[in-house]
Structure 1
Amino acid sequence: MPDFRSDTVTQPCAAMRQAMHDAPLGDDVFNDDPTTLELQRYAAELLGFEAALFAPSGTQTNLIALMSHCQRGDEAIVGQQWHTYKWEGGGMAVLGSIQPQPIELQADGSLALQDIAAAIKPDDPHFARTRLIVIENTVGGKVLPLSYMQQVAVLAKQRQLGCHIDGARLFNAAVALAPAHQCTPQQMARQLCQGYDSVSICLSKGLGAPVGSLLLGSAALITRARRIRKMLGGGMRQTGVLTAAGLYALKHNIARLADDHAHARLLAEGLTTLSTQGRFAGKLSVQQPQTNIVFTDLPLALARELQAFLAAQQVQLTSSNYLQHSAGASAEQIRIRWVCHLDISTADIQQTLDLLQLFAHSEG
Structure 2
Amino acid sequence: MIIDLISDTVTKPTGKMLEAMMHAKVGDDVFKSDPTVNKLQEKAAKMFGMEDALFFPSGTMANQTAIKLHTQPGDKLICDKYAHVYNYEGGGAAFNSGVTCKLIDGQRGMFTAAQLEEAVAGRADIHVPYLRLVCIENTTNKGGGACWDFSELEKIQKIAKENSLAFHLDGARLFNALVAKNESAEQYGHLFDTISICLSKGLGAPIGSILLGSKEHIAKALRIRKLLGGAMRQVGFLAAAGIYALDNHINRLEEDHQKAKEIGAVLSVASYVTKLEEIETNIVIFYVDEKIGADNFIKKMKENNILLTPMGAGRIRIVTHLDYSNEMHEVLLKALQNFKSKN
Taking structure 2 as the reference length, what is the TM-score of the superposition? 0.94
Q: How does 1:1-364 map to 2 (within 5 A)?
A: 1-106=2-107, 109-120=109-120, 122-139=123-140, 140=143, 141-178=145-182, 188-273=184-269, 275-276=270-271, 280=272, 283-302=273-292, 303-322=294-313, 334-360=314-340, 363-364=342-343
Superposition deviation, residue 126 in structure 1 = 1.1
Higher alpha-carbon deviation: 13-22 or 94-103: 94-103
Superposition deviation, residue 300 in structure 1 = 4.1
Aligned partners of 2:59 and 2:205: how far apart in 1?
A: 13
Aligned partners of 1:269 and 1:288: how far apart in 2?
A: 11
Q: Which amino acid aligns with 1:348?
A: M
Structure 1: give runs of 5+ residues left out of the alignment. Answer: 179-184, 323-333
Higher alpha-carbon deviation: 301-310 or 291-300: 301-310
Change (3 A) 1:195 1:314: same
SS, match of residue 77 in structure 1: strand
SS, match of residue 3 in structure 2: coil
Q: Which amino acid aligns with 1:71?
A: Q
1:47·1:190 contact (CA, 8 Å) conserved in 2? yes
Q: Which amino acid aligns with 1:163?
A: F
1:149·1:192 contact (CA, 8 Å) conserved in 2? no
Aligned partners of 1:263 and 1:29: how far apart in 2?
A: 41
Q: Deviations over 1:13-47 (max 9, x none)?
A: 00100111000000111111100000000000001
2:266·2:337 contact (CA, 8 Å) conserved in 1? no
Name segments (4+ residues, structure 1) moved above 4 Å.
none
Q: Deviations over 1:161-208 (max 9, x none)?
A: 110000000111100110xxxxxx5xx222133221000001100011
Q: Deviations over 1:79-128 (max 9, x none)?
A: 11100011101101111111211111125x32122221222264411121
Superposition deviation, residue 353 in structure 1 = 1.6
1:306·1:359 contact (CA, 8 Å) conserved in 2? no
Aligned partners of 1:357 and 1:259: how far apart in 2?
A: 21
Q: Which amino acid aligns with 2:157?
A: A
Superposition deviation, residue 347 in structure 1 = 2.5
The count of residues paired between Structure 1 and Structure 2 equals 337
Aligned partners of 1:111 and 1:287: how far apart in 2?
A: 17
Aligned partners of 2:187 and 2:311: how far apart in 1?
A: 34
- Output the aligned Cα RMSD: 1.5
Change (3 A) 1:359 1:123: closer
Aligned partners of 2:139 and 2:311: how far apart in 1?
A: 19
Taking structure 1 as the reference length, what is the TM-score of the superposition? 0.89
1:74·1:130 contact (CA, 8 Å) conserved in 2? yes
1:77·1:100 contact (CA, 8 Å) conserved in 2? yes
Q: Deviations over 1:207-237 (max 9, x none)?
A: 1100010000000000000000000000010
Change (3 A) 1:210 1:28: same
2:112·2:152 contact (CA, 8 Å) conserved in 1? no
Identity over aligned residues, as a percent?
Answer: 42
Aligned partners of 1:357 and 1:75: how far apart in 2?
A: 47
